[in-house]
Amino acid sequence: MATFTSTVRTVGAVTVIDLSGDLDAHTSVQLERTIQDLIQKKHFNLIINFSNLNYISSAGLGVFMAFIDDVRANGGDIKFSNMPEKIYQIFDLLGFPMLYEIYKDEREAIEKFKTSATT
């Protein structure tokens, strides 16, 4: 049975969530709780690192839809990084790159937060 984990790291003023395994209708509940918890603790600069994620379904995508307005309303954002090609293809198929910033590398995403904080 495929497993899913989401691990939270802090890099300066940014919070990185590392995903691994399969993100589906079952495991998305876990990610929802993680992000909910971060928002409650006023962490609004979020990066989702996908490097170890094998699979995503619409339930996983729905989690990001659920929180994006909330974090942006608080001056933050949810940015994505390190997406394997097969995960990016699903995002692309649905037009998600229109709504979310997707970076090849986590450092680029962190830099972007720094830049937007100073402007």
Partner 1 sequence: MANTYGYNPYYALTILSRTDELGRVRAFVREAALQFGFSAADAEKIVLATDEACANVIRHGYNGEPFHFINISIETNGRAFAVVIDDDGKSYDLRTHIIPDTQQYFKERQRGGLGIKLIRLLVDEIDYIADGSHNRLRLTKRLPNSSE
Contact with partner 1 (CB under 8 A): which of 99, 105, 111, 117?
A: 99
Which range of residues in 5-13, 33-41, 93-101, 110-118 is near partner 1 by CB under 8 A?
93-101
- Would you say 8 or 61 has its CB closer to partner 1? 61
73 binds partner 1 (CB under 8 A): no
For residues 82 and 106, the answer to whether their CB atoms sit within 8 Å is: yes
For residues 81 and 105, the answer to whether their CB atoms sit within 8 Å is: yes
33 binds partner 1 (CB under 8 A): no
- What are the CB-based long-range contacts (under 8 Å, 24+) for 39-43? 39/67, 39/70, 39/71, 39/74, 42/74, 43/15, 43/76
Contact with partner 1 (CB under 8 A): which of 7, 13, 62, 117?
A: 62
